[in-house]
Amino acid sequence: MIRSRRLASLSFFLALVAVASAQSQMQLSHPIVLHAARDDLLAGFTAERDMGTEGAGSADTAVRDAINSGKIPGPRLRISGNAINILGGHEDAVGYNPAQHVLPNADYANTSEELIAVMREQYKEGADFTKIYETGADTVSNGKASTPYQYSEAQLAAAVQETARVGGRVAVHATGEPGALFAAQAGVASIDHANHLDDETIRIMREKHIFAVPTLTIFEYFAEHSEKPESAALDRQLFDLKVREFPKQVAAGVPMAVGSDVGPFPHGTQTREFELMVKYGMTPLAVLQADLLNGAKLLGWEGQIGALKSGYFADVIAVPGDPLQDVSALKHVVFVMKSGVIYRK
C-alpha cells in the first residue's frame, strides 16, 4: 500500500480484480451492458472474468473488444461466451413444453468429443477460456447438501487438454462432490462456488494450485432475495451450509481467488465479497492477496497486473481509510486509474 503525502487521508491501492464477474444476458447495443462495464470500472475493478453470458452466445466478445478499442469504458476482460452444459443439466431449459423450443442458458455437450467441438466453436467466436457447468441442481436433505455431477473426470480432462492447446483454461461451476473432485483431478484452473470440498479435493487443489472462487455474495443475495417463494428455504439453507464450510477451507489452505457472481445484484457493488470473505474466516490481507495476486494468475495476467512494478499496467485506485484494517474501505473508491488513464477522481 502506498500513501500519498498530499492526500494523507487516502490509501492508494492496486486496482481490484474480479474473477467471477457478470452473468450477463446482454448485447453491446443494450445500455445495461454499457452501465455495467462502467460501474464495475468506477468501483475499482480494472480486470474481470466474465463467467458465461447466460444464453447470449458470444456477446461478451463484443463487449471485451469495445472496451479494448476505447469505445466504452470498462475493465479489461477475459470472456468465455456461453457456458457448457449437458442435456437436462443445471442451465438447461428444464420443465418446459418441448414444442415451445425454449433455449437453454448454455451450449450443449454430452460427450468428450462434443465438448471439444463446442469449445472450438467458442474459441473461434473469441472466447478466452471455457466455463463448464459441472454440478447442479443443488438440494438439501437432513442438513446436508448434495448435487449431481455432469461430466466425468475423463471428460473434463479432455476439455482441459483441448483448451491448453490454444492457451486457454477451464473454469467449472461446482458446488459439491463428486463433481469438484473430478474437476480437481482433471486439472481445471478454478472451481467456482466450491460450497463443499472433500479432503481429497482440497489436497489436490493445494497440490495443483487450483483456485476456489467462493462467490459468497451471490449466495447471500439469494438467501435474502429468492427468485421464487418456494425456493426461499433452500436458498437460506445453502447459504448457511456454505458459510459453515468456508472457514474449514480457509484453515485447510485452499487457494482462494475473489469473485462475486455479480449480475443478479447491481454491478459496482461486488466489493461486498471482500467483506464476506473477511467475516467468514480470512484476514483483510489474505483477501487482498487472493484478489490481486491470485486473481492475476487466474486471469492469465500474472506479471502485468496485481503489483506496482515497472512494466505492469498502471492500474491504481484510492480509498479513504486503510483496507488492511477495515476491508469495507474498498466500497468507497474515490480514484480509479486503468492503464495510466484516470477514470475517476
The answer as to whether 3 is a domain residue is no
The answer as to whether 5 is a domain residue is no
The answer as to whether 231 is a domain residue is yes
In this predicted structure, which of 52-61, 110-119, 151-160 has the lowest mean pLDDT? 52-61
Q: Which three cell numbers stand for residue 192?
A: 467456482
CATH at residue 40: 3.20.20.140
d(CA 20, CA 259): 4
* Average pLDDT value for residue range 152-164: 98
pLDDT beyond 80 at 24: no
pLDDT beyond 90 at 26: no
d(CA 17, CA 274): 11
Q: Are strands 335-338 and 106-108 parallel, antiparallel or unpaired?
A: unpaired
pLDDT bin (cut points 50, 70, 90) of residue 15 is low
The answer as to whether 280 is a domain residue is yes
Q: Could you tell me what percent of the chain has a pLDDT over 90?
A: 81
pLDDT of the residue at 89: 94
The answer as to whether 2 is a domain residue is no
The answer as to whether 109 is a domain residue is yes
Distance from the Cα of residue 169 to its chain's centroid: 13
* Average pLDDT value for residue range 187-207: 98
pLDDT beyond 70 at 4: no
C-beta separation of 338 from 313 below 8 A: yes
The answer as to whether 1 is a domain residue is no
Domain count along the chain: 1
Distance from the Cα of residue 297 to its chain's centroid: 13
pLDDT beyond 70 at 20: no
Q: For 129-148, what is each residue's pLDDT tens digit?
A: 999 999 999 999 999 999 99
pLDDT beyond 80 at 13: no
Q: Which three cell numbers stand for residue 202?
A: 482440497
pLDDT beyond 50 at 273: yes
Q: Which three cell numbers stand for residue 307?
A: 503489483
d(CA 209, CA 235): 30
Work out the end-to-end distance of the chain between its first and last CA atoms, rounded to an integer number of angstroms.
18
Domain holding 83, by residue range, is 10-344
pLDDT of the residue at 206: 98
The model scores a pTM over 0.85: yes
Q: For 70-83, what is each residue's pLDDT tens digit?
A: 999 999 999 999 99
- Counting other chains too, the contacts that 117-123 makes at CB distance below 8 Å and 24 or more residues apart are 118/84, 119/84, 119/159, 119/162, 119/163, 120/162, 122/58, 122/80, 122/81, 122/82, 123/166, 123/168
* Average pLDDT value for residue range 90-98: 90
